[in-house]
Structure 1
């Protein structure tokens, strides 16, 4: 859940910090007080589109910070792991700064991330629904995804199987398209590949060769320094009155001493080992000095060879391994172009075979989707009945296609159709729903889908617009039922919805020192009664409206007790 939210210098909010809890939380206040700015800030926090317009006038930057508490199996953990972000004790801290230039700086648990990564993680944490989301629901392109999401465990394995074959199908189509290019382009491509293959082959590259040459070059470039260092080392150790001579003398005297004092035996052994090791080193140094030979021609050879390797890397890959891999790849392509007709025939046979497999998987997917569509239709009818839309007919329409066209998600083209009045024909959702109806339809869908999505927090931004009376009560009850399984935050103007909340925050706007400032306050039980009374009657609160507010709260408590 979203445990804490801190907002600084966003629009008319100078600085606000609020702690949220599980269950159903409502945000109320007069129009323009800044309720939607709170939701906009959460939207920005989880990767929503930002701009300089959000930065409070005169501020250096806008800051939003949110602490989320998540369970061990939450999808955000896998997503964070994918991006190398560590999560400790189930806490995830998101932070976003927006500057007047429009630039954003985003962090997740202190690690800098791109806005794209923030958005990917944010999708697993928060699901925001407002007027924009209603518009998205009207877009038929999202309907197939929603149906698959509803079908979940039954549909996704079949969809994954289909997509696996589809990827192979796309590759074969791409290879065929490449081979079916015109003769002139093929001939030009073949000449280029042969030239490249010949150039790489003639270079006779060996893996690890460049590292060996660089090592040898370093020795030759620093020959004098190397010879001088080795020679001085050798002369310091070998010869009369030199290092090895003195260590030998020490060893001889210790040999005599350890026969007198046994405690010196360990020291004698150490010096003895050191002497014989130094003796071996002297022999190695002498051999090394005998081997050292400066050859300026060899240095030129190395320089030329490294230059050839550099040119190959510049053209064909950043390492010898990559160049040789590219060489093998173009060798295969040359073979394919040379035997073009044979390969086209083989690929056409493969394509026919894979199209049959793909069609089988696509038809299986269609069958599963039609079963899911029946269940979804039944579930939506039940939800709509609870929202006093029992005369509404909902249908998932599958469009028949004359020519089957394989797409990444199957061959199905579907759209949600609905009729809100008896006797009226079914029409696309976008063409029939009024504002109030659309809010209820969206809420019905959300009630169903909230069981399948597993997000931490669901936010409703004035989804109850355009309704009142018993419909408002039904909407409040639906939102409360969703909050039993997920944390829900909702902006509302309806007293029936506010009464059903577990936690009630009031947002007010005031002017201090000629600047507008928004503040947020959690209401006590007494303050809730006053605020709900205000929502019922406006600014003029009477004893009757207070009694009505108390009654709404009592009814809400009874409903929650019965349905928790």
Structure 2
């Protein structure tokens, strides 16, 4: 469930942190106070499109964070594991930043996330029923989930999707092998030729580095030989000046010097060490010169070998050190293709077995969906009557797919149709229902499906548009009933609905000389009574409206 929503520099909000609890939470406030900004901010955290005009005036960026408790949401915890997002105990934090330049960044548990990932995870956590993009009831794929959940066959539907994916993967590979034999043969020939080139090259591990080192040495052989001779002259062989003679003269001067102070004794020690080091260096240089040979033939061999390596690497469009890995990859592909002809029959058998398993599961699923659809329709229509939508018909339509066609959702498509007036043909919800109607239709469906719903948090906006009186009482009771089974957040302007809430949040707006700011505070006791009275009687609160408010709150608390 949603536990905390944090909003910074978003529309009218400077900084805001709201805590939510289990049950039904009502958000109320004066018109224009910003009641819907909570839902707008929440939708932004869930990956909805966000415009820069949502950033508070005078600020460079807006930020929204939503913290959810995942204790009871197994699917969401598994999604985090499957998508390699860091664990955060039984919680997950969704965060969204929007800059004035139009850049938008999303995060899940502190790790960068795409908007698609925010939306995917968000759909497991919360369902927003309003005129936002999160109106899942308008998406046909949601209709499968709702009906399957009501029918108690969600696991069966999941097993069917897994079998379908295996069948689809198998048939795709089979089609590729059957329809592309000429291409496969050509590919085999190319792979064989490429492998023969690499085998002929026979590049050993570490050979490239050795060859390049030797080439560098031999390529600079003349310069190395010349400079080595010069070094030897400087160290010991030059007649006019060399290091060994000079050090010897210096040491002789020091040796003949009587009564040397400590500093000169230390200098003599250092020069003795230097003379030893110069002598050893001279021997090393002489040994190098004695064994050093100019070898143009070897240099030619090295350059020929390196040229062959570089040319083959260019041919494969890789760096030379990657040739060994390339050979392994080509061999693996060739091995897979080599077994292609023999695996076609095996794949045919696998596809047939998976198809039989699919059909068995699909027939069972169809039967359970068909039986559940009738019961589901009747129960939803009962709720329609309670919500002053008498005569509205609800039809979960199951349409068989083409014979022999396998789909991920079974042997039928499912779409919720509705008629709001007698004599009209059933039509999809998106083409019939207005915003207010859709919220009430969604409410009716969710009340029936709530015991089976995997989405723990339901948000309703404008569920009470165009209703009042007894119908408003029913809406409030239904929302409280839903809240008793999970978490419901409702933006409302009706006191009958607000009085039924387990928690009450008041949205206020303060206007200064240069800016306005929206805030939210929790109401209880007399503050809540006053707010219900204000909703009943407008700006002027009377003893009568206060008495009526207290009565409504008492009745709301008695609602199961």
Distance 2:212 2:541 in 1: 90
Q: How far is 1:97 from its partner?
A: 1.4
8 Å CA contact retained: 2:48, 2:133: no
Question: Are residues 1:201 and 2:196 paired?
Answer: yes
**3-state SS of the aligned residue for 2:30?**
coil
Q: Which residue pairs with 1:444 in the alignment?
A: 444
8 Å CA contact retained: 1:93, 1:108: yes
Aligned length: 486
Q: How far is 1:378 from its partner?
A: 4.5
- For residues 423-446 of structure 1, give each alpha carbon's deviation from its aligned partner in whole angstroms, at most 9, with x where no partner exists: 646612435546554332211222
Q: Which residue pairs with 1:554 in the alignment?
A: 554
Q: Which residue pairs with 1:303 in the alignment?
A: 306
- For residues 218-258 of structure 1, give each alpha carbon's deviation from its aligned partner in whole angstroms, at most 9, with x where no partner exists: 66357699xxxxxxxxxxxxxxxxxxxxxxxxxxxxxxxxx
**3-state SS of the aligned residue for 1:131?**
coil
Q: Which residue pairs with 1:153 in the alignment?
A: 155
**3-state SS of the aligned residue for 1:124?**
helix
Q: How far is 1:83 from its partner?
A: 3.5
Larger Rg: 2
**3-state SS of the aligned residue for 1:413?**
strand
**3-state SS of the aligned residue for 2:372?**
helix
Relative to structure 1, the CA distance from residue 414 to residue 177 in structure 2 (aligned partners, 3 Å threshold; closer, same or farther) is: farther
Q: How does 1:56-135 map to 2 (within 5 A)?
A: 56-71=56-71, 74-132=74-132
> Structure 1 length normalisation: TM-score?
0.74
**3-state SS of the aligned residue for 1:166?**
helix
Q: Which residue pairs with 1:166 in the alignment?
A: 168
Relative to structure 1, the CA distance from residue 365 to residue 21 in structure 2 (aligned partners, 3 Å threshold; closer, same or farther) is: closer
Q: How far is 1:498 from its partner?
A: 0.4
- For residues 117-146 of structure 1, give each alpha carbon's deviation from its aligned partner in whole angstroms, at most 9, with x where no partner exists: 333333333222212469652454543343
Q: Which residue pairs with 1:216 in the alignment?
A: 210
Distance 1:378 1:495 in 2: 30
Q: Which residue pairs with 1:428 in the alignment?
A: 427
Q: How far is 1:70 from its partner?
A: 3.0
Relative to structure 1, the CA distance from residue 327 to residue 3 in structure 2 (aligned partners, 3 Å threshold; closer, same or farther) is: same
Q: Which residue pairs with 2:248 in the alignment?
A: none
Distance 1:344 1:13 in 2: 63
Distance 2:47 2:204 in 1: 46
Distance 1:503 1:413 in 2: 40
8 Å CA contact retained: 1:12, 1:517: yes
After superposing the two structures, state which structure 1 stretch, 213-222 or 164-173, moved more: 213-222
Q: Which residue pairs with 1:262 in the alignment?
A: none
Relative to structure 1, the CA distance from residue 197 to residue 159 in structure 2 (aligned partners, 3 Å threshold; closer, same or farther) is: same
Q: Which residue pairs with 1:501 in the alignment?
A: 501
Q: How far is 1:62 from its partner?
A: 0.6
Q: How far is 1:543 from its partner?
A: 2.2
Q: How far is 1:403 from its partner?
A: 4.8
- For residues 266-320 of structure 1, give each alpha carbon's deviation from its aligned partner in whole angstroms, at most 9, with x where no partner exists: xxxxxxxxxxxxxxxxxxxxxxxx9x99853553355235325523542799664
**3-state SS of the aligned residue for 1:31?**
coil
Gapped regions of structure 1 (runs ≥ 5): 180-185, 226-289
Distance 2:345 2:94 in 1: 55
Distance 2:29 2:326 in 1: 63
Question: Are residues 1:485 and 2:485 paired?
Answer: yes
Relative to structure 1, the CA distance from residue 516 to residue 428 in structure 2 (aligned partners, 3 Å threshold; closer, same or farther) is: same
Distance 1:345 1:19 in 2: 60
After superposing the two structures, state which structure 1 stretch, 19-28 or 163-172, moved more: 163-172
Q: How does 1:44-443 map to 2 (within 5 A)?
A: 44-71=44-71, 74-132=74-132, 137-138=137-138, 140=140, 142-150=142-150, 151-176=153-178, 178=180, 194-195=189-190, 197-204=192-199, 209=203, 211-217=205-211, 220=214, 295-297=298-300, 299-300=302-303, 302-311=305-314, 313-314=316-317, 320-326=324-330, 329=333, 358-384=358-384, 386-387=386-387, 392-400=392-400, 403-420=403-420, 424=423, 427-430=426-429, 433=433, 436-443=436-443
**3-state SS of the aligned residue for 2:317?**
helix
8 Å CA contact retained: 1:46, 1:119: yes
Q: Which residue pairs with 2:40 in the alignment?
A: 40
8 Å CA contact retained: 1:213, 1:306: no
Distance 1:324 1:500 in 2: 69
After superposing the two structures, state which structure 1 stretch, 440-449 or 368-377, moved more: 368-377
After superposing the two structures, state which structure 1 stretch, 84-93 or 42-51, moved more: 84-93
Distance 1:4 1:433 in 2: 32
- For residues 458-483 of structure 1, give each alpha carbon's deviation from its aligned partner in whole angstroms, at most 9, with x where no partner exists: 22122222221222111111111221
After superposing the two structures, state which structure 1 stretch, 449-458 or 493-502, moved more: 449-458
Relative to structure 1, the CA distance from residue 178 to residue 57 in structure 2 (aligned partners, 3 Å threshold; closer, same or farther) is: farther
Q: Which residue pairs with 2:533 in the alignment?
A: 533
Q: How far is 1:484 from its partner?
A: 1.9
- For residues 49-77 of structure 1, give each alpha carbon's deviation from its aligned partner in whole angstroms, at most 9, with x where no partner exists: 22212112221111112333331764332
Relative to structure 1, the CA distance from residue 175 to residue 452 in structure 2 (aligned partners, 3 Å threshold; closer, same or farther) is: farther
**3-state SS of the aligned residue for 1:204?**
helix
8 Å CA contact retained: 2:88, 2:109: no
> Structure 2 length normalisation: TM-score?
0.74
8 Å CA contact retained: 1:510, 1:516: yes
Distance 1:332 1:108 in 2: 39
Distance 1:105 1:526 in 2: 42
Relative to structure 1, the CA distance from residue 29 to residue 407 in structure 2 (aligned partners, 3 Å threshold; closer, same or farther) is: same
Q: How far is 1:210 from its partner?
A: 5.7
Question: Over aligned residue pairs, what C-alpha RMSD do you find?
Answer: 4.0
8 Å CA contact retained: 1:134, 1:438: no
Q: Which residue pairs with 2:250 in the alignment?
A: none
- For residues 17-46 of structure 1, give each alpha carbon's deviation from its aligned partner in whole angstroms, at most 9, with x where no partner exists: 222222221111122211111111111112
8 Å CA contact retained: 1:313, 1:320: no
